[in-house]
Amino acid sequence: STYQGNMFDLRATQDLTIDKIDIHTRETHMVSVVIYSRQGTFVGHESDFQDWQLHGITEVMGQGDSNPTPVDGFNPIHVTPDSPTGVYVTLQNGVMDYSSSGEVGDLFADDGKLSMTVGTGNRHSFQQFWRNRVFNGRFYYTLGTVTSGPTKAPTLQPTTSPTPYPLQTVSAPFRGGNGQSGVMFDIAAIDSLELVSIDINSESTSNEYTVEVWTIEGSYKDHSHSKDGWTGHGVVVTQGMGEGQPTVLSGFSPIHIEEGQTKGIYITDREGNMKYSSGVNGQGAILVGNENLHVLEGSGCRYPFGKSYTPRVVNANFHYKLASGLHSGVGSTESPSKAPTISPTANPTATRSDSDEKSITTTWESNNGQAGNMFNIQPWKTIMITSFDLHCEKTELVHLKIYMKEGTYIGFEASPASWGDPICETDVIGQGSGNPTPVPDGCFDPITADAFKEYSFYITLTTGDLRYTKINNDDEGDVFVENSDLTVFRGIGVRYEFGGIKGAGGVYRPRLWNGDIKYYVEDECHMKGEPCNVGSDCCVRHVCNDGVCDYMVDAVYF
């Protein structure tokens, strides 16, 4: 039989320490082996991560079917004669081979000092399990006297090479309540340490969940919108465990933080599955910590280095080794505020989750470009526009301006007075052709766009580095893309600034703006064909007929 892991009980007739295991896996590539134990039997604790202690996550080369794959370098497992010790051995990126035999709890192997019971086959990690399964492998242990002689598999043999320094853990609670693609935060090291694995909180249950790990020297605070200065520690493909359960990240390059230093950490996926919590004491305040390190409150982030939300706090377990091995770092404590509130308010303020933010994408298939674009939009619901991504072919600093006006741009292409001052003017770092270049957070105040009104935007660089799409027809003003919230229309390309003004000769039509519009729906309502109750759920100029929204009889549509 195969699945990703085994749980079973070990019993000892005297104190002993296991510091190496051989496992049985048919895999012949690098695999991540995760080892847990608990004081007492595993039975009844198959699905509860909180009841287990992590001993380590080790990268080893699988030796294939019927060959022992040695695993060491984990925090030793201590087995005493007082009670059974539950053990859980699992792979993150492969299958373990095991046998079917007997009943859970039956004695399977015994060398007189150490014995093992029939257990379960388990899906990584702490999910489904199948009873009456037997771990295939070997344990190496240290005790006062050395045993010898063959026994039934698994063979129990001694060794004399204990692991010098154990893994230690600091945990930030898995409260959830908010989320986006990623989370940025700082870790301040009191002692020199090496962060070797992280358990995160994610909605994903994919068995190929992909997560990136980045760091930057010093605080992340001034570096959340650009990858400049960041170091990638690896792309981890793992089993997503779902919200509230630890999704294990291992196999990335260890993160070294020197005594007295701060390092920015960025953990992100591409799908927006990361779960975190809203902050309490503000960006940079201590979230959790112990005598070795502090984890600070940070920000939620849109992938890859996009809009950020502050303060937000990571939900994670951090597993680390001390460089010196001098401290024993026990557990973790949440940093108390001077006057924390522990009871709920009678009138809580509703907050909007970052994951409520929506977006509409036009295209990234550019074949032309100039400095800017003008185009119209029309919301079908009242929305609040929070940001844009644009298409810039440069990978260096460029200067951006964004203008907005009510009504169409047509007839106002060369009329700066009609547009007024830009709502946003800033420098951005272009992300290159085919990649979204995010407008920095806070460049403009959120824009409320009312349902059924027309608005126009003029997004321009001061250089001709904006990419857009040229189409060979006369369909300027036709629908380009739309969803149930808003429509984006075909527009024009524009030379900087306002077509060069003189006769607006620098206007090219029609052209398709490339980018994303980020927004929230202010008053969520239902459109034609969507279900409704009585009528209160339907949007402006709609009515509820037989439980379905429809246009009002006197509504005029163009």
Same-domain check for residues 213 and 300:
yes
pLDDT of 291-320, one tens digit each? 899 999 999 999 888 888 999 999 999 999
Q: pLDDT-derived band of residue 440, with 50, 70 and 90 as boundaries? A: confident
Q: Is residue 324 in some structural domain?
A: yes
| Averaged pLDDT score across all residues of the chain | 83
Token pair in block for residue 520: 């929230």
Q: Is residue 252 in some structural domain?
A: yes
Same-domain check for residues 152 and 176:
no
Final residue belonging to a domain, choices 102, 134, 158:
158
Residue 347, pLDDT score: 36
Q: Is residue 341 in some structural domain?
A: no
pLDDT of 230-289, one tens digit each? 988 888 888 899 999 999 998 788 999 999 999 999 999 988 999 999 888 889 988 988
Q: Between vectors from CA 18 to CA 240 and to CA 105, what angle results, nearest 5°?
A: 70
Q: pLDDT-derived band of residue 525, with 50, 70 and 90 as boundaries? A: low
Is residue 93 pLDDT above 90, yes or no?
Answer: no
Which SS3 state, helix, strand or coil, does residue 457 take? Answer: strand
Same-domain check for residues 179 and 248:
yes
| CB-based contact 209:273 (threshold 8 Å) | yes
CB-count exposure of residue 368 (10 Å: 0-12, 13-18, 19+) = middle
Same-domain check for residues 195 and 83:
no
Same-domain check for residues 320 and 367:
no
Residue 399, pLDDT score: 94
Same-domain check for residues 185 and 244:
yes
Is residue 166 pLDDT above 70, yes or no?
Answer: no
Q: Is residue 186 in some structural domain?
A: yes
The residues that bridge with 488 in the sheet, in sequence order, are: 377, 481
Same-domain check for residues 72 and 204:
no
Closest C-alpha to 315, from 337, 294, 288, 351: 288
Is residue 123 pLDDT above 80, yes or no?
Answer: no
Q: Is residue 294 in some structural domain?
A: yes
Residue 475, pLDDT score: 79
Same-domain check for residues 270 and 124:
no
Q: Is residue 529 in some structural domain?
A: no
- Strand runs labelled E in 177-292: 178-180, 182-189, 193-201, 209-217, 231-238, 246-249, 255-257, 262-268, 274-278, 286-289
Same-domain check for residues 126 and 225:
no
Closest C-alpha to 381, from 446, 454, 450: 450
Residue 273, pLDDT score: 93
Final residue belonging to a domain, choices 158, 179, 207:
158
Final residue belonging to a domain, choices 158, 177, 209:
158
Q: Which stretch, 88-92, 140-144, 158-162, 385-389, has highest mean pLDDT?
A: 385-389
Residue 56, pLDDT score: 78
Same-domain check for residues 218 and 78:
no
pLDDT of 339-372, one tens digit each? 333 333 333 333 445 556 789 999 999 999 999 9
| Mean pLDDT across 173-184 | 92
Residue 158, pLDDT score: 47
| pTM exceeding 0.85 | no
| Mean pLDDT across 88-113 | 89
Is residue 337 pLDDT above 60, yes or no?
Answer: no
Closest C-alpha to 41, from 16, 9, 15, 11: 9
| CB-based contact 249:213 (threshold 8 Å) | yes
Q: Is residue 445 in some structural domain?
A: yes
Q: Between vectors from CA 258 to CA 257 and to CA 259, what angle results, nearest 5°?
A: 125
Q: Is residue 340 in some structural domain?
A: no
Is residue 484 pLDDT above 90, yes or no?
Answer: no
pLDDT of 455-469, one tens digit each? 999 999 999 999 999
Number of domains observed in the structure of the chain: 3
Same-domain check for residues 181 and 319:
yes
CATH of the domain at 398: 2.60.120.820
Residue 469, pLDDT score: 95
CATH of the domain at 132: 2.60.120
Is residue 54 pLDDT above 70, yes or no?
Answer: yes
pLDDT of 195-216, one tens digit each? 999 999 999 999 889 999 999 9
Structural domain of residue 307, as residue ranges? 168-334
Q: Which stretch, 183-192, 381-390, 467-476, has highest mean pLDDT?
A: 183-192
Residue 127, pLDDT score: 65
